[in-house]
Amino acid sequence: MNANSERSKPGRGTVPPGAGDVGSRVATPVIIDTDPGIDDAIAILLALASPELDVLGLTTVAGNTTLHNTTANAMRVLDLAGRHDIPVAAGADRPLIRTPWHAEDVHGADGLGGADLPAAQRQPIRTHAVDFIAGQLHASPVPVTLITIGPLTNIALLLALHPAAASRIGHVVMMGGSTGAGNITPTAEFNIWFDPEAAHRVFASNLPKTIVGLDVARQAIVRSEDLTRLQAGGRVGQLVTGLVDYYSRYYQERHGTPDTCQHDALTVAHLIRPELVTTRRLNVTVEYGSDETRGTTVIGEPLITGAAAHAAVAFELDAVAFTELLLDRLSALDAHVG
Ligand code: RIB
Ligand code: CA
């Protein structure tokens, strides 16, 4: 059974009514490479609630927690949303070179803050994530967009193992890096820090890429009180409320504020509404030579460095519009799922 036959129907048929009219535009086929992870789970739900996107599959990677947990969590979230048509393919269980270090102080031992969510009702497909992505890229009649919201290990392996498939990628929208301070070290953002060699391979490639970094993600705030908007009180609302409450306690303890940064949902939202952020084309490289600065993204202004501006880098965010979009879509999904 190949990856394509495991997709029983196009996913758009189950998009909740009122989740936003896309008119006659065709949904963008996307694959989400993810390490759920509290904010990943919310980002996945946003993607499922958005008719602009046709989620071909989720591919998982070790990052926030172990590959076992990220894979189980991806399926648990899809089960909650009733999306048994979307395959999950497990990928790399560790970085290319580095020793894994999971952010379980942030996301909990299970990766979802101990959320009251049933165990996965199915297994991941037998196809490895990298081979699944390659198969989808070759099979799709139109370019596929990769949304990466975890470490870039799978994407680096894709470039190494399936260069012909990688050349068919329409766009990579990635959460990673920072034009300012880091969150795992003073200068590095977690996704890039976790596997800096993989990030280097991806950033140095000629893939069409957009980078949503920590500095702009820090503007994508959701507070627990925002969630009273999830009026339907369904299972999606209950899960998201629990996830944000757990995340908020971490932010309060670590950063002295209950405001949670929705890094991964912003990355998905950028695809749905590109105008939410302003981007500039810049050169971005990754430092991986020393432990001290591993994972630091170095943003080069081409006029100064003369280096190729190979990436669109997100800057200013319309934060109010982002929160509105996220909560409107989650509310619609909540009402749809019940
Ligand atoms: O630094 C934030 C990123 O690291 C997010 O993707 C979060 O889920 C973690 O993976
Ligand atoms: Ca993530």
Residue 18 is predicted with a pLDDT of 42
Cα separation, 9 vs 13, whole angstroms: 8
pLDDT digits (tens, 9 = 90+) for 41-89: 999 999 999 999 999 999 999 999 999 999 999 999 999 999 999 999 9
Residue 22 is predicted with a pLDDT of 52
Distance 124 CA to ligand 2 centre (A): 19
Please give the structure tokens belonging to residue 184.
């795992």
Could you tell me if 201 and 158 are in contact, meaning their C-beta atoms sit under 8 angstroms apart? no
Pocket of ligand 1 (CB under 6 A): 35, 37, 39-40, 63-64, 149-150, 175, 183, 189-191, 214, 263-264
Counting ligand 1 atoms within 8 A of each CB, the residue from 65, 175, 189, 255 with the most, and so the one to mutate, is 175
Residue 204 is predicted with a pLDDT of 95
Please give the structure tokens belonging to residue 15.
């998009």
Give the amino acid at 270.
Answer: H
Residue 63 is predicted with a pLDDT of 98
Could you tell me if 47 and 268 are in contact, meaning their C-beta atoms sit under 8 angstroms apart? yes
With a cut of 70, which residues of the chain have pLDDT below it?
1-25, 231-232
- In ligand 1, which atom is closest to the CA atom of 214? 1
> Within a 10 A sphere around the Cβ of 63, how many other Cβ atoms?
31
Could you tell me if 166 and 121 are in contact, meaning their C-beta atoms sit under 8 angstroms apart? no
- In ligand 1, which atom is closest to the CA atom of 267? 6
**Pick the catalytic residue: 107, 128, 263, 270?**
263
Could you tell me if 248 and 258 are in contact, meaning their C-beta atoms sit under 8 angstroms apart? yes
Distance 14 CA to ligand 1 centre (A): 28
DSSP 219: T
Residue 90, helix vs strand vs coil:
strand
Residue 231 is predicted with a pLDDT of 63
List the beta strands (DSSP E) in the chain: 28-34, 53-60, 88-90, 144-148, 169-175, 209-212, 221-222, 260-261, 277-286, 297-300, 311-317
Query: Whose Cα sits closest to atom 1 in ligand 1?
Result: 190
- In ligand 1, which atom is closest to the CA atom of 103? 9
Counting ligand 1 atoms within 8 A of each CB, the residue from 32, 33, 34, 40 with the most, and so the one to mutate, is 40
Distance 303 CA to ligand 2 centre (A): 32
Distance 63 CA to ligand 2 centre (A): 7
Residue 303 is predicted with a pLDDT of 75
* pTM for this prediction: 0.93
Residue 24 is predicted with a pLDDT of 55
Phi, psi values for residue 321, rounded to 5°: -65, -35
CA angle at residue 263 from 312 to 53, to 5 degrees? 70
Ligand with an atom nearest the CA of residue 190: 1
Catalytic annotation present for 263: yes
Ligand with an atom nearest the CA of residue 263: 1
Full set of structural domains in the chain with CATH: 26-337 (3.90.245.10)
Give the amino acid at 17.
Answer: P
Residue 14 is predicted with a pLDDT of 46
Distance 190 CA to ligand 1 centre (A): 6
Ligand with an atom nearest the CA of residue 260: 1
Cα separation, 3 vs 338, whole angstroms: 29
Residue 302 is predicted with a pLDDT of 74
